[in-house]
Structure 1
Amino acid sequence: MNVQEFEELWITLNELYNADRFLEYIEISSAAVESAIKLGMYDKAILLLRYSCASYFQTGDLQLSISVLEQYRELTFQHGNDIDLIQYYNIAAIYWGTFGHLKKSEELMLKGLKIAESIQHVESLGKIYNNLSDLEISMGNYRTAKEFALKSLYYSNAFEVQHKEPYTGIMYPKTNLAVSLIWLNEFDEANILLQELLATIHNPPYSKVQLEVFNAYAILCERQGRVSEAIDLYQKTKHYALQNNDLSLLQIIYNSLVKLIEDQGNKIVLCAVQKEYINILLEIQRENYSHVLFEMEYNDHKKQFEKNAYFDPLTNIYNRRYFDENAKRMLEKAAEGNQQLALMMVDLDHFKEINDMNGHLFGDDALTNTAKTLQDYFQPFESIVARFGGDEFIILSQVKEGETVQTLADNLYQTLTALSLMVNGETVQLEFSIGVSTNNFGKIKIVEELIKHADEALYKSKRNGRNQITHYNHYCDVGNGI
């Protein structure tokens, strides 16, 4: 991946993370991290790893997150600045606390707090005080939790004092403040906060903090004696927490549910069994994760990096490196049996305009949809489908007996031009220019020659107005359009 390709992926990843599209971020982030390190962009690699840890945490996949946390720690201590160190201590503290190691969690938070106070980094101060509030809630120290939540909100610009770069995760300290108020029997104040938060939550899937808002409101209902409403809310939160694999939240919910249902005098055995099962799962997971945290072993990324060497991170199809290394063997095999192969260069027309008019994420969707269409179309054939770079794709495919290159290309063109995407309620039709060359039934054995021929044909398609196919003619110096 060169600098330009990395910068394009960097923009996409930041947009995905800021849009809370955590699963999509996870899918393509590891290749970007590897490239950033190779290019010496350590500041960006550190930020990408921090976002990866946070994304895994939001989606509940903590096992992979801890592996990423180790890489994040090493890079931060080697190349990070004070703010990077603060962020690492903060994230590591969250994980230690999640798995029951509260003292270790507090120790890491205070290390980060000391640095943040020394440089007066407002955003970090807001984040750390929020996490300290969460820690105090888990220990039952609700007055201290309330104080820390208010400090976090101060650094979030929730009061009259306005900081230039505030902590933006204001939903977290508001939730912690509400929970603290509930346990301090300040129900009216807690309800005002929770109603404000609930008004911002719409359709699933729900993030971790949104589920914690639901759980906080269930606690309020329970404490106010609104038992049926509390049970319904716990059940709803439980359903989505299961989808997120958020076992720590599930344990809290099950404990509350079992107590409520036992008080109601029904389904005691069933809920007790469910509670026991969740506790067992959680204990196993805590032991495994604690071991990983203590040992800080990192063994899983080598295979992932090897995979990333041959796959385009955005479209998840083969990249140019894979094509270059495997097309030669495919040509040699075809030459032995005088088999006809077709090489096609496919270009998504007007890609820059698509990006400029509809946004970078829309452009990425256009590329990923094109890649999937190509992959599906050539799945029945012995073929290599790869992203050649930018908005270009390259395919080397067998031509089945009884079929012609012309038919293969025509059918592909019809399939591609049927692609459309929706943006702001309007349909955007995609268009493609295609250049086609063949190995002339095994006579051409050099990949570069095939690519050169297809590229010349593609150039003619563009020169003649785009959105068309051109076949390279072996008997003259130009392609012949169809």
Structure 2
Amino acid sequence: MAEAQVPRQPHAFALWREAQDTRIRSPLGGIYYLLAWLLTWAFSNDPAALVLPGVIGIALFALLLALRLLHRLPQEQSNDSLSRWLNLHWSLILITALSWGAAHALAQHHPLFSSSAIIATLSTIAFSTALAFNFAMRKKRALLALLLIYLPGLLTLALAWREQYALLITLSFYLSYLLLALNRSHREYHNTLKLELQLLDQQERLEHLSCTDSLTQLGNRYQFNSLFPVMVANAQRQSQPLSLVLLDIDFFKRINDEYGHACGDSCLSDFAERMRQNFRRDSDALLRLGGEEFGILMPNTPLEQARLLAEQFRLELEREGFNVPGAILPLTTSLGVGCYDMRRDGSAESFFKRVDDALYQAKAAGRNRLEQA
């Protein structure tokens, strides 16, 4: 999944991360279960006499390996689909664990496996160790898988404890270590997960700061430069209207000079708030392009609708003015409005220039007016 598609919500990210880790770690284990059984059978006392269990074991572990490899992550990685995928994949892991536990018990119990029982035991140790360290995301499921791998062999050894007590005690002690290791791995995995979530949160905050004007909390020029070409390309591809409104506060320098920069900043913030109140659609992108210049990107909006909204904003701004202590200052804006036209605009830059030229026509014609590009 691309970085832009990584879930940002904690629960969704935890599911996504677990699914990714499970997908990466699972196939390798499936291969070694098959290899371990091949070695256990091939180095038994009489492989020819054990053809039936040998072939059944090979077929079983090959099938489980194939199912792991074929069980790919869903394309639509929603919480529900990832949960279903994880539940099914854990079922394969648990069935594999039970199958190996039974194979180990058979190798310990059947006299014709006496020469290769040590291979099965060493493989059990290896598989249970890998499970404790690599699949600790779900502690209860990992514990169940660990017991399914380990206990059948231990029970078989316990039945012959007079001859196998040394191995039985050693494996029991090692199982206690694995249980502690599983608990520790589970904590470490989730601590790492928390750290990743913190990093994602910090990244999201930095991205927000890099795309947001700190004074007005509108999008900034950087965000405009990122959004504008994409919206133009979408308008071309989908044959949908895209309108652009450019606004410039009239005589803003006079407010700064006569009332100070603090009043100027307050004026910019108030202007941005008026924009938010007038252009309320979630699809509209409201931006401060620099100084006293602002812009509004309006996807799926024909020119006439954009012109009416922009003119309504201009009239309300002219009527209400800008409040300062003890007075109401006149506050007006000049606007250029245009809609993307493939016949007239060869690129996003030419579309912007056309609307920007309309803005300057409005300023040259006396300000406090709207010009249509």
Same-fold call, TM > 0.5? no
More helix as a share of residues: 2
Larger Rg: 2
Q: TM-score, normalised by structure 1?
A: 0.34
